[in-house]
Structure 1
Amino acid sequence: MSSPTDRGRRLLPLLPTHPLGRAAVTCEFRCGNACSHEAPNSSENQYFGDVVREVVSRRGMLKAGAVIAAAGVGAVSMSGTALAAPVEVDLDVDLDLKFGRDRDGLNFEPVAPNTLDQIVVPKGYQQDVVIRWGDAVLPDAPKFDFDNQTPEAQAKQFGFNNDFCGLVPLPGWDRWLMVSNHEYTTESFMFKDWAPDKITERHAKIAWAAHGLSVVQVERDHRTGKLVPSKDKRRYNRRITLTTPFEVRGPAAGSQYLKTSADPTGKKVLGTQNNCSGGVTPWGTILSGEENFNQYFANADLVTDPDTKAKLGRYGFSGKGSLRKWENYDKRFDLAQEPNEANRFGYIVEIDPLDPTSTPVKHTALGRFKHEGANVIIARDGRVVAYMGDDERFDYMYKFVSDDCYLPGDSKRAREHNKRLLDSGTLYVARFKGDSPVAEIDGTGKLPSDGEFDGTGEWIPLARNDKSFVDGFTAEQVYVFTRLAADKVGATKMDRPEDVEPSKKNRRIYAALTNNTDRGVKPGKEGATEIAPRVNNKHGHVLEVEERRSDNTALTFSWKLLLVCGDPKSPDTYFGGYDKSQVSAISCPDNVAFDSRGNLWISTDGNALKSNDGLFALPVEGKRRGFVKQFLTVPNGAETCGPVITDDFVLVSVQHPGELDGASANNPLSHWPDGGTSQPRPAVAVIWRKDRGHVCD
């Protein structure tokens, strides 16, 4: 019989006992084993930990500007099963009734950590696949045939390893254009006849077609409640690949560093690659980030010019032959022949899904680095502000503020004006400072005496159009070699800043810092700082930034770590001050999103806590701030990407299912989503409530 203190409690299962985390094959094909190499940032800019910290009263200056933020994303179905002894979770039922259900609406039963080869969602929810690798995008696409793939077929079908997912509404009821990034190809899972010494031109050309983006018209089936590709009126459907022409715009368009033998103008690039996350703009376009582009290029070691070689090194280019051997079939991937081709990737690209004939754009004004993505907000004065992270150990956070103001409305004039907003403006990089004595940040993750990891910071200008603010750099050098310019001004080295998004509810900015196992471990590498308070940071953390007076164009801000991720039983974790005995364990935050109530949703990549990756939600306001609850898990070997949270459903991209060490197309260890003996196929999944109620209710 329960005691009075047991009332209002539910059981949250502990973690399973066998290890998981990211497989070596994923590291090899997605980022070229970036974490097995030295981090490319070898700059000696002032370390965050070396900055003299002012001990500021938290109840005084820093608290004065504080607000707290929110966000949202989505889920899938099948009830989780307890895999180990449970931990009691106090759901605070009385407060739920008085506050929670009226405010955050996160009343689902948390999903248990697991290693099942399926999507697991809370009780009362269900899930289905919207579209998978190889499914038709263009009306004349042939049926997918795993054993008989062709470049021509793939160019009309949904690409491989979808990451970001975004929805652009269409006129009418419950119709959207769904846009998905295709980040990278894992050839050993795509072809039974692929091997590093048996790569053919057919392999290469299919992979070129499997990269890029897909635009698919979708609609809600009101009979079932799920989201499905439209069967007719698919005039918007489109594939963008590694051979699609792109226009280069902004201050570096036509730069000497972008000219090649194939493009002496420096204004036209074929394709986009390694597109990770992104964002939907208020004017109905998609921003997509080019991330680990360095791995596709060969023969960096054969480049003889020392300046060029140094710049290539700062972006992670190294070695001779590439893994995929694309250089054998197109010389632009051979740096010894075309060293400038490398400078034509690493940008934010913009596509207009509402105009299937439009030419996609690469925006040089937003800088060149390993973009996870870009997310924009309209500042109070009407200007557009974009936030970005450079996904590398010890790299930086950026923002861009446009010169011109957003023009409301969906008229042709307004859209064409707004589609030029990212061509001119000021690019900034972030510098952070803690407010605690240095001795209190000892690398263990122990909270300092003021009870929070927090402080202040500033945005340092790098360039505005043709004007550079960095000594020794021209403006075009800032935009093409942004990492080196940020090194020069002493930006703060961070732990893989990935998705950085502003909340429309409170204008705070939330950043997922995935992990950094080099911090404080390798000789010469920066140790613990207040914004990265643990050495060997394998679980990552989530940052919350509030700019001065909630003005997104401001140059100063205050910040807090909202989450220090990991096992809540571990003393080095922090959940916004919430009772850690009640929260779900979370590891390696990757993407963030918001729901209409302002809750923050977080997807994970590389869970280091012996469970499949998942999607999590938490309030950022009120008494339940920091109360992390797991909404779903994805299948074995997969990563949770591209969450989209609407009132009626959630979308997640299930990337690289079955990418487990020892697995391949000849030995599949996952059969998601089709079951039986089928090959695993990356896909977009939709999750909705069985009773058709709101996701958060």
Structure 2
Amino acid sequence: MAIDRLLPMLGHTRGKRSPVTCALKCDNACAGEVCNTSKNSYFRDIVSNEVSRRTALGAGAAAAFAATVTLNAASEASAAAAGPVAPAQPAAPTATVIPFTEDGFVGFQPIAPVPADRDQVTVPANFTWTPIIRWGDPLFADAPEFDPNNQCATAQSRQFGYNNDYTTIMLHPNFANGLRGVMFVNHEYTNPEIMVPPSMDKAEARAISQNAHGLTVVELVRETVYSPWRYIKGGALNRRFLLDTTFELTGPAAGSDLVKTKADPEGRWVKGTFANCSGGVTPWGTVLSGEENFHGYFVGKGKSAEEKRYGITDKETTHGWELDDPRFSAKNAGYENESHRFGYVVEVDPFNPTSTPKKRTALGRFKHEGANVIIAQNGKVVAYSGDDERFDYLYKFVSKNTYRSWDRAHNMTLLDEGDLYVAKFSGNSPESEIDGTGKTPSDGKFDGTGEWLPLIKDGKSMVPGMTVEQVAVFTRLAADLVGPTKMDRCEDVEPSLHTGKVYVACTNNSKRETADEVNPRVKNRDGHVVEITERGGDQTNTKFDWNLLLVAGDPRQGDVTYFSGFPVDKVSPISCPDNVAFDEMGNLWISTDGAPDGIGYADGLFRVQLTGPERGKTTQFLAVPREAETCGPFINARDGYAVVAVQHPGEDGTWADQHSAFPYEGNTVPRPAVIQALPVRRWG
């Protein structure tokens, strides 16, 4: 099917957002009806309370796994061949964010906005960039080299996947001096029109697309701690997660009739993961990956309220997988529940290539952008996650059991049981001062209080008329019944391990007609970032305070913006915040998916100051090439490098008319890639 038949957003997108992205990535979600038709209010106007602040437990927890992780035999053999076992990685500093200096990595000279039509990667003066790994690069010793003119499904199953999103690098605990690492990457979706020639057999083209989805674990090496990373072909830990990879369902939905199918009558074993967006690293050294736009891969019966709430229709899909596999159509007897087996947070052990990855149903089922965790004061693990849909919600999971720094096996069960909450926000400004333009209230800030409303508590459903299994599988419908706040596409949600504050990227919502203080603009095309402080610094508290860190846009083009009181004429314009990340010193970084209107800017990576007189200062570090999106930021300011995934470069092109040559090494087709930027003086 020609892609131009599937572009209902053509002529309706703004800025640099392409209708091709809308069709392939999220099944034209903005062109369809709003999934959330509940009568939940956007807001409730009350007076906020002051919050006592303290540093939350959790600093350095993400490094603790290195002292306890046990690698499999293959990895140990690989380690033995290269050197002695390294000591545990040092804990991150417990101080607040370091002040920025005018030299070194954290004091980079910001770049100017880059026109969206430029096919280049732009980094600051005295920095350079280089790919770590590209679509099609061979991962295994027997994998063929990439040949875009002769690609096949078998080759793709042994090669790096397409459209990388979440990316993280973890130091390999069995190698000294930090010179070996393990990188985890999501492959969110594909762009068939620019991947394969139109003359290719359509079934083979779909099979290539299927094998370009999923996940990748790949080993890395570098010469010094200031040198570029490069990937290791044939690394012992290298692994692809494909449509035939077995995942175990855990938590309340496991074994439920709601997830049983003809192929899995036990309701416990799922083949594959796809549409994976962002993610996070756990304190015990596993990786969490969010299944997001899964709805666009399934044909439903088109009748049930559950299908409508999750955006599943009875029409043919853009990707067409239902033509090859009966489980992708609920019209096929025995596969009515297959879509209920996707939309979860996936947990992967990157240090054991023979392990079975898990789908953690206790965290709920919705369009997970990702999940990020922190250890609370009482030792329980708290995971935050957003539902990336217009007018949907923000969630929190609190584990039943507590973290044990010495017991990795125990920690790998913590996401199986616990309490699930959804957020309700209230503001402290008069309703008349929230006029929908984004204008700041008279008190000089957007802020208020909030409450975590329970969906599952102590193993029991807190939603009248729904069982625990139903809450886990139909989480959106359960949340509708308890009255949370409708948000503007909560994408990435991440707690700071230094302060315990939680940052929520609300990307945009052009359908909003009624503003409230936590979503202060109607027709919100540029998005905003929410900062949450749990009461008493306790991540398990059901009360919180919040404020907006920034209301995005380009002040120079007349947008009404807010940067925590920092002068708007001294910031880099930023629009559609997508992923958020912290470097190991606690500084916040934001990658974007969609740039401001007007002349149109390329998407990029931005740093935002969180403390002191320059709180809210936003500076652009990097810009990606033509028609690309910035994804999966991973920042190591101590070693002096930044990693981003460059997704869908040149996506508006065709096989005969390619719009990008990224990453520019004699390419005839654009190749999504994970790249690194670092100072020339450190290694060049």
Shared fold (TM-score, shorter chain, > 0.5): yes
Q: Where does 1:50-69 land on structure 2 (aligned, <5 Å)? A: 51=44, 53-56=45-48, 61-62=49-50, 64-65=52-53
- Using the TM superposition, give the Cα deviation of residue 103 of structure 1 relative to its aligned residue in structure 2, in angstroms: 12
1:446–1:571 Cα contact (<8 Å) kept:
no
Query: Which residues of 2 match residues 372-383 of structure 1 at below 5 A?
Result: 372-383=369-380
Deviation at 1:208, TM superposition (A): 1.7
CA shift for structure 1 position 168:
2.2
Task: Name which of 522, 545, 555 aligns with 2:542.
Answer: 555
CA RMSD of aligned residues (A): 2.3
Deviation, 1:65, is 4.4
Q: CA deviation at 1:66?
A: 8.6
Query: Secondary structure in 1 aligned to 2:631?
Result: strand
- In the alignment, which residue of structure 1 is the partner of 2:674? 684
TM-score by length of 2: 0.88
**Greater alpha carbon shift after TM alignment, 313-322 vs 100-109:** 100-109
Tell me the SS of whatever aligns to 1:385. Answer: strand
State the shift of 1:191 in Å.
1.3
Question: Is 1:400 aligned to residue 397 of structure 2?
Answer: yes
Q: Please name the residue that 1:328 is paired with.
A: 323
Paired amino acid for 1:589 = P
1:657 to 649, 656, 675: 649
- C-alpha deviation, 1:655, in angstroms: 0.5
Choose from 558, 576, 590 the match for 2:564.
576
Per the alignment, do residues 555 and 608 of structure 1 end up closer, same or farther by CA in structure 2, a change over 3 Å counting?
A: same
CA displacement 1:648-671 (0-9 Å, x = unmatched):
2111000101112xx112210111
Output the amino acid matched with 1:48: Y
The Cα offsets for residues 459-506 of structure 1, whole Å up to 9 and x where unpaired, read as 111014641001111100000000000000011100000000000110
Shift in alpha-carbon separation, 1:601–1:354, aligned structure 2, 3 A = same
Instruction: Give the counterpart letter for 2:425 in structure 1.
Output: F
Q: Aligned to 1:615, what secondary structure does the other structure show?
A: strand
After superposition, the C-alpha distances for 1:331-380 in whole angstroms (9 at most, x for unaligned) are 00111112200100000001101010001110100000000000001111
SS at match of 1:30: helix
Q: Residue 73 of structure 2 aligns with which residue?
A: none
1:513 partner letter: C
**CA deviation profile, 1:604-661 (whole Å, cap 9, x unmatched):** 001134101000001101111111000000000110000001122111000101112x
Tell me if the contact between 2:605 and 2:622 (Cα under 8 Å) persists in the aligned partners. yes
Is the aligned partner of 1:498 residue 2:498? no
2:62: which partner in 1? none
Stretch moving more, 159-168 or 170-179: 170-179
Deviation at 1:324, TM superposition (A): 2.1
One-letter code of the match for 2:480? Answer: D
> In structure 2, do the counterparts of structure 1 residues 689 and 365 end up closer, same or farther at CA, with 3 Å as the change threshold?
same
Please report how far the alpha carbon of residue 322 of structure 1 lies from its aligned counterpart in structure 2 after TM superposition.
1.3
Q: Does the aligned pair in 2 maintain the 1:299–1:321 contact within 8 Å?
A: no
Alignment partners' CA distance in 2, 1:209 and 1:360: 18
Match of 1:227 among 207, 216, 229: 229
Aligned-partner residue type, residue 419 of structure 2: T
Q: How big is the shift at 1:243?
A: 1.5
Partner in structure 2 of residue 150 of structure 1? 152
Rate the CA distance shift 1:343–1:121 in 2: closer, same or farther, 3 A: same
Structure 1's 460 and 317: CA in aligned 2 closer, same or farther, altered over 3 A? same
Query: Partners of 1:436 and 1:123 in 2: how far apart?
Result: 43
Please tell me whether residue 343 in structure 1 is matched to residue 340 in structure 2. Answer: yes
Aligned length: 622
Are 1:217 and 2:219 an aligned pair?
A: yes
Decide whether the 8 Å contact of 2:51 with 2:536 is kept in 1.
no
- Partner in structure 2 of residue 107 of structure 1: 107
Change (3 A) 1:103 1:367: farther
Give SS of 1:277's match: strand
Q: 2:516 aligned with 1:529, yes or no?
A: yes
**3-state SS of 2:37 partner:** coil
Q: Say if 1:159 and 1:212, in contact at 8 Å, map to a contact too.
A: yes
| Alpha-carbon shift at residue 204 of structure 1 (Å) | 2.1
| Contact 1:70 1:598 (8 Å CA) reproduced | no
For 1:336 and 1:461, how far apart are their aligned partners in 2? 35
Counterpart of 2:432 in 1: which secondary structure?
helix
Amino acid at match of 1:112: A
Could you list the structure 1 runs, at least 4 aligned residues long, displaced by more than 4 angstroms after superposition.
63-71, 102-105
Q: Is the 8 A contact 2:509 2:523 kept in 1?
A: yes
- CA distance 1:69–1:464, change in 2 (3 Å): closer
d(CA) in 2 for partners of 1:67, 1:134: 44
Equivalent in the alignment of 1:159: 161
Question: Are residues 617 and 138 of structure 1, via their aligned partners in 2, closer, same or farther at CA, if it must alter by over 3 Å?
Answer: same
* 1:539 shift after superposition: 0.1
User: Of residues 454, 465, 484 in structure 1, which corresponds to 2:477?
Assistant: 484
Letter in 2 for 1:183: E
Distance 2:634 2:52 in 1: 33
How far has the Cα of 1:166 moved from its partner? 1.1
For 2:665 and 2:210, locate their aligned partners in 1 and report how far apart those are by CA, in whole Å.
28
**Aligned-residue identity in percent:** 51
Which aligned pairs between 1:72-471 and structure 2 lie closer than 5 A?
A: 100-101=100-101, 106-115=106-115, 116-170=118-172, 171-172=174-175, 173=177, 174-193=179-198, 200-222=202-224, 225-230=227-232, 234-301=235-302, 306=303, 309-337=304-332, 338-409=335-406, 414-464=407-457, 466-471=459-464
Question: What amino acid maps onto 1:149 in structure 2?
Answer: Q
Question: What's the offset of the Cα at 1:131?
Answer: 0.3
Cα deviation, 1:664-684, whole Å, max 9, x if unaligned, reads: 122101111135562001000
Shift in alpha-carbon separation, 1:223–1:485, aligned structure 2, 3 A: closer
Q: Does residue 42 in structure 1 map to residue 37 in structure 2? A: yes
Task: Please state whether the residue corresponding to 1:202 is helix, strand or coil.
Answer: helix
* C-alpha distance in structure 2 between counterparts of 1:592 and 1:252, whole Å: 30
**Cα distance in structure 1, aligned partners of 2:57 and 2:505:** 14
The answer on 1:592 being equivalent to 2:580 is: yes
CA contact (8 A) 1:457 1:557 kept: yes
Distance of 2:488 and 2:283 partners within structure 1: 30
Shift in alpha-carbon separation, 1:244–1:113, aligned structure 2, 3 A: same
For 1:458 and 1:329, locate their aligned partners in 2 and report how far apart those are by CA, in whole Å. Answer: 46
Paired position in structure 1 for 2:68: none
User: C-alpha displacement at 1:55, in angstroms?
Assistant: 3.6
What is the SS of the residue equivalent to 1:342? helix
Deviations 1:222-265 (A, max 9, x none): 39811101356x11000001221111111110111101111111
Tell me what 1:612 maps to. 602
SS of match in other structure, 1:423: coil
Which piece of structure 1 moves more, 633-642 or 464-473? 464-473
- Structure 1 position 567 matched with structure 2 position 585: no
Match of 1:544 in 2: 531
Deviation of 1:595 after TM superposition, in Å, equals 1.4
Equivalent AA in structure 2 for residue 576 of structure 1 = S
Q: SS state of the match for residue 643, structure 1?
A: strand
